[in-house]
A and B are shown apart, each in its own frame.
Chain A
Amino acid sequence: MTVFKTYLKILRKNIVMVIIFTFLLVLFGGLSMSSQDKSLSFSAIKPDIIIINNDEKIGITKGFIDYLKENSNTPSVKNTEEALNDALFYNDTDYIIYIPKGFNEDFMSGKIDHIDVKKADNFNASYSDMLINRYLNIASIYKDKVSNQDELVKVVNKTLKNDTKINITTKLDTTSLEKAQFFFDFESYSMLVCLIFIISLILSIFNEEKIRKRNVISSSSYKRNNRILLLANLLYAFVLWIIYFGLALILLGDIIWTSNGILYVINSFVHLITITSLAFLIGNVVTNKDAVNGITNIIALGTSFFCGVFVPLAYLPDSVIKIAHCLPTYYYVKSNSIITSLEEINFNTLQPVLINMAILISFAILFVILSNIVSNKRRKIG
């Protein structure tokens, strides 16, 4: 009990660090919950199209121009070649369409094979192409089946107004799961700091040559004291995880009780085992307790940046991701990302997550073996 009580005393004197990083988790987790919209809606974008009409605004020409105006923004630019080119160059417009003289008659007689356009190299320009082709293709289909241009415009407009019904077949509440993913990703950072700092600090204090010598010469078994220290650290790690699980329940609510939510929690627990063993290794290697703070920051911040905790993996360069493969947190974050997109849960869909968990456990075993080697070497002074 002497060792356990002393562990608690030292933990109590360094609890501020744990509180700060838990507060950060609550803060960022809470912000994430309130910042994202829960509703699922879509709206069409409107590209910027300048229409240079050289024809009379009647019949199909009028219908075409009205359609373009309805589906795009039409910036007002002086109708000179220089001004139009500048507008395109400075991204004031995405697209310029030149409607030729006699367009309505030529269209009806099928003489139009192309329309002059100038466009930017972006998505909006491609979308503008699509809008124009859509109108003209429909008009081409109906032009021989109607008696005049006004009737053609009416038919085309009617066809275009038929909305496509979209049925979302997925059962996933992607937005909520993304929030959960953010929480659990960020949780890894808080956990890295709280576990590595406290466990490494306390182990390095007990492993300091001066303290270790006193412990070794005492009548209390050195191995037994080490076991108590190990159990105290495991208990601390577990209690911290339970607290974070409680925070997840408060902040994420019912998401936790979904299949995906439970998978996040399991993944977080596996990650906890790996970080705890890493903290043991660091605590056994580092004997200078003053260095623990710096080492914690380097490992926690470095790991979190490399492994996509702060910046999503998709935005990280390949070279960074290659390095991240050597770090356990990468597999944790990757699993979180996979869990977010898991619609159906069965062995096949879970396989990548299970493989990542196996890798995390392998890391934990490696860290434990290395810790034991270092600890055994330290037991005797010479």
Chain B
Amino acid sequence: MTRLHVQLAAAAAVLCLAVAPFVLSPFSITLMNYIGIYSLVAIGLALLTGVGGIVSFGQAAFVGVAAYATAWVSALNGHSPWLGLLFGVALTCGVATILGLVTLRLQGHFLSLSTVAWGLAIGFLFGNVEGLGRFNGISSIPPISLGSLALVSSKQIYFLIWGIVTVVLFLGYNLLDSRLGRAMRALRGGNTLVESLGINAFRIKLVTFVIAAFLASLSGWLYAHMSRFISPGPFDAGMGIEYLMMSMVGGAGSLLGGVVGAAVVTLLKNSVQDYLPLIAKGASGQLEIVAFSALFILFLQWARQGIVPFVARSLPKTRRARPQPAPPLPRRAQPAPGELLLKVDGAERRFGGLVAVNNVSFEVRSGEILAVIGPNGAGKSTMFNCLTGALRVNKGDIVFAGRPITREAQSRIARAGIARTFQHVKLRPRMSLLENVMLGTYARTRAGLFAGAFRINRREEASVRHEALMQLERVGLGEKPFELAGNLPLGNQRILEIARALAADPTLLVLDEPAAGLRRQEKLRLAELLRSLRADHLTILIVEHDMEFVMSLVDRIVVLDFGSKLCEGAPAAIRSDARVQEAYLGGVA
């Protein structure tokens, strides 16, 4: 399957949508309209939950904010629905921004619980605020009009709804394939990974959150002017979970899945309403929610992946062309060899009463490979985390390239030119090798939300692709750039992480136990690669456990023991140092 096939399929789908209202019964068209309206929310959730990993139970509240806003503007104050759209979108995005600023630093289930909280709180507001019709709702909302044409019938508004859905899908897929989209797709890898790439994770979460709210607000606007009447019911917590269900059934993480999920859930609900009365007379309303929740639970138990990813796996793989040569990305000015690059001065880090790093000082000079070694519990990892900003030192200073980074955020340290790898490999297993390496270029590029969505980033993207391919070739993984990263063996995953770090054009490369878990051949290859990088004047700091690996590779060694620096020197001197032997072997061997 090539790109052309995908485009043809998309064109055919759009054509079908355009013809549908002339073929379908009025009832089916109404059903389609609801599907379209729900799709918008579900697409937003696919981005937020599926791509970004933020499970929100509260999207229905955003739909409600926009619906009530436009109803207030148009039905109660007599202005145009288009003004209602502006007001609704602005209000929803404003509310989302404030909620996001407050809650998005929460982690894991705390964040999801907060969405339950504000979802409920906003839902209760609709029924209880004076001037919004309380539980009776707001009626006689005017239809949307285009010039003199009022979109009254379901067939008329059909085109508006599905037009918007199509455009949203198109822009959404563009966005996911851009610099910002890749950052969103990295969010699930955890904050440490995202920040290590020079990406401000909080900002990306906020943008994703507001985009999802924006799509919910479009949905709310359409809903208000299609049904011409609103009450608190459709925006309550129950609907919030139904939206979540749509996006999960369709396949969380797939935008198309949002549409498919909305369709499946809506049609299923509709047929449940049709058939349940046949089974249980008089109790259908109650059974409906039971049947529905039970189906959802079964789905979560057995088919968490969702429909679209399931179908997509059985389709032939999309063949893609290798990236073509393109103008290079701008490079950083590298320091002269031998210049002082990193200076750690009296670093101290405590965890309660435990002093994990105690008054450690050392320097790294440009162009060398320095290893920090030590037995288990020596404070190597803590030192590493302090260098990269994952932890703060309690005392002491860290200066990098003449700039104090002691109190800097992780992403800013990364942007300053320190690129890192992880002891427990942090790749995005469902992204290709190329895309994983492209993530590394985030801090060197600038295309934003609109550039990504409207594809005015093409030149930069071409450079990024080419750069990523070059780095893959540099580390020897250039043969299959479109392979999924999760399919690589561990040794190559480590090397892929190095390629990603190189794509950031770093001044200092810091490696966290790169040899851990590797087989002998893999270790030799890794050492070979690191030597070749040193030949390219790159400075490397290794935190390592494996003496053999370190001794033959590095220029200088700093030995830590029980949090303090034991000694420092060339590998041969370290090998014969009695203190080091005692630390490692518990006595002179």
Q: Do A and B bind each other?
A: no
